[in-house]
Amino acid sequence: MSLFKLTLKELQEKFTRGEISATEIARAFLLRLNQVESKIKAYVTLRDKDALLVQAKSIDQSLQGWRKTQPLMAMPLAIKDNICTKGLRTTCSSRILEDFEPPYDATVMARLNLHQPLILGKTNLDEFAMGSSTEHSAFGPSRNPWNPKFIPGGSSGGSAAAVAADECVAALGSDTGGSIRQPAACCGVVGFKPTYGRVSRYGLVAFASSLDQIGPITKTVTDAAILLNFIAGHDPLDSTSSRKETPDFTKSLKKKDVKRLVIGIPREYFADGLDPEVSETVQDAIQTLKELGGSIQEVSLPFTQQAIATYYLIATAEASSNLARFDGVRYGMRAKETKSLAEMYRLSRSQGFGPEVKRRIMLGTYALSAGYYDAYYAKAQAVRTLIQRDFASVFETVDLLVSPVMPTPAFLLGARLEDPLQMYLSDVYTIPSSLAGIPAISVPCGFSTMGLPIGLQIMGRPFDEPTVLRAAHAYEQATTWHTRRPVIRS
């Protein structure tokens, strides 16, 4: 079997047993990238080939004689390009950061690098993670490996496409309103957004700080648990990171059932606008969870329909403030030949940001401006409380919530580009849990008649990642969806 087809767990085991070398892994993935990357365009920046081989060789040499491996050693990973990687260009898929080489590593990178993984490159995203399709990348969209005419989802579309196309063994993404789960669903892979605060955001280029969270995108639920183990935990450099103890997430995978778990089905997530094929596929998955011992209960989250409006006020308000730092002074693009500081700010930002980023900065600035602050921003913060209470209230009686990830399978490239609101509506099922900060996973649960993957969303109580992983794993092991891989035509 080709090395690039293996899961993280399988590749780890082969490497630890000494059956394969780091150099063989590096060569296998370089070959794979050479074969398919031009069709998928998952990456913004690839690691220098020679540097990668030198790193692999040095790992192999360090292991000669006494084979004491580390858990992520030589594992080929892809990193979303809004996560700072020291010395490796980090663009956020924006012109304004086209040449930015971070002088430091994000905390998640520092933690991964302790174990010497092979970082293959930085993956494409919607500019500054603002979007649901990667079409807002300044460097062009990534393609869905199942059908290149369709979006890979977004904003972590490059990471999801890279995992689905076997262009890495696992990846990191970031999720603000669905940006890990939605592309995972579109590409037929696993995407896990942990509880807000579970993973440090230090070095994640900020979009909406009260919502952003880093998480794994992988081939299996087991792989997601493995990767989360390395990145989770308190970080003194991020005061919003939790001090709660980090459990061993792989331990939650032992029980392969959902016995004694009450699984809530929120009725608002099956209302108008849900594609019948997606609905049917998710209903089948709910039936499987029932057969695995789950007690299914219909519940209501009444403020679901206000979630998108709430999100697009809060996220854009935070973005307008966060992106004020891009002023052409300390890093990033500076407009040429400007006469004054104010003109330099305006021209650098206007030339550096793409249309969706400008649109969101405008919306956020408007929502925060004098005269509108209470009507828009404060109002949205109050409704956010109501949305959070919706979840707190149902979690008194249920252990998990199950729903679709997205109302439709992946849509055609270009289909929603001219209508921002239609694009926003594709996040209707992932946004509420983001606003509440709860953990939520996307696992493959079937395919449309067009052959495009469909995802199942499982949400849990704050910091109850173990129960979410247990259910996702039990479902995955009872089905075969995760074993299907796209055929990428040359």
Minimal distance, residue 333 CB to other proteins, in Å: 7
* Residue 369 lies near other proteins (rule: CB under 8 A): yes
Q: By CB under 8 A, is residue 62 in contact with other proteins?
A: no
Residue 403 appears among annotated catalytic residues? no
Considering only 35, 295, 331, 415, the residue that binds other proteins (CB under 8 A) is 331
Binds other proteins (CB under 8 A): choice among 362, 412, 451, 483: 362
Work out how close the CB of 207 gets to other proteins at its nearest, in angstroms, rounded to a whole number. Answer: 15
**What is the total count of residues that contact other proteins (CB under 8 A)?**
73
Tell me the closest approach of the beta carbon of residue 347 to other proteins, in angstroms: 6
Q: Which of 265, 301, 344, 400 binds other proteins (CB under 8 A)?
A: 344
Nearest partner of 76 among 22, 127, 148, judged by Cα: 22
Stretch that binds other proteins, among 53-61, 141-149, 233-241, 452-460 (CB under 8 A): 233-241
Strand ranges (DSSP E) for 176-326? 190-193, 213-218, 262-266, 295-299
State the burial class of residue 397 (Cβ atoms within 10 Å of its Cβ: 0-12, 13-18, 19+). Answer: exposed
Angle in degrees, CA 484, 488, 490, rounded to 5: 160
- Give residues with Cβ within 8 angstroms of 51, minimum separation 6: none
Q: Candidates 38, 66, 68, 103: give the one binding other proteins (CB under 8 A).
A: 103
Kindly name the residue from 179, 241, 434, 442 that is annotated as catalytic. Answer: 179
Choose between 271 and 375: whose C-beta lies nearer to other proteins: 375
Q: For residue 236, state whether it binds other proteins (rule: CB under 8 A).
A: yes
Q: Which of 142, 155, 174, 403 is catalytic?
A: 155
What phi and psi, each to the nearest 5 degrees, are found at residue 299? -130, 170
Residue 110 binds other proteins (CB under 8 A): no
Q: Which stretch binds other proteins (CB under 8 A): 159-167, 245-253, 354-362, 481-489?
A: 354-362
| Residue 80, SS3 per DSSP | strand
Q: Which amino acid is at 432?
A: P
243 touches other proteins (CB under 8 A): yes
- For residue 416, the minimal CB distance to other proteins (Å) is 13
* Residue 255 identity: K
Closer residue to other proteins, CB minimum distance, 236 or 276: 236
Site for other proteins in 370-409 (CB under 8 A): 375-376, 378-386, 388
164-193 residues near other proteins, rule: CB under 8 A: none
| Residues of this chain, 301-330, that bind other proteins according to CB under 8 A | 303, 305-306, 308-310, 312-313, 320, 324, 327-330
Out of 2, 38, 64, 239, the only residue in the binding site for other proteins (CB under 8 A) is 239
Tell me, yes or no, if 241 is annotated catalytic: no
When the beta carbons of 147 and 338 are compared against other proteins, the nearer one is 338
User: Does 289 sit near other proteins (CB under 8 A)?
Assistant: no
As to burial, measured by CB atoms within 10 angstroms (0-12 exposed, 13-18 middle, 19+ buried), residue 334 is middle
Please name the residues in contact with 322: beta carbons below 8 A apart, sequence gap of 6 or more: 206, 207, 208, 209
**End-to-end Cα, the chain, rounded Å:** 20
Q: Is 490 a catalytic residue?
A: no
Strand ranges in 286-399 using DSSP code E only, listed in sequence order: 295-299
Segment near other proteins (CB under 8 A); pick from 94-102, 128-136, 145-153, 180-188: 94-102
Q: State yes or no: residue 346 binds other proteins (CB under 8 A).
A: yes
**Whole-angstrom distance, CA of residue 57 vs CA of residue 35:** 23
Give the DSSP H or E segment for 161.
Answer: helix 157-164
**Distance between CA atoms of residues 43 and 158, nearest Å:** 6
Q: Please report, as a single letter, which amino acid is at residue 30.
A: L
Phi-psi domain of 46 (left: phi exceeds 0; alpha: psi -120 through 50; beta: other): beta
Q: Which is nearer to other proteins, 53 or 378 (CB)?
A: 378
Minimum CB distance to other proteins, residue 476 (Å)? 28
* Min dist. Cβ of residue 325 to other proteins (A): 11
Which one of 9, 41, 80, 122 is the catalytic residue? 80
d(C-alpha 1, C-alpha 378), whole Å: 56
Task: Determine the Cα–Cα distance for residues 187 and 167; give it in Å rounded to an integer.
Answer: 13
Which residues are catalytic, by number?
80, 155, 179
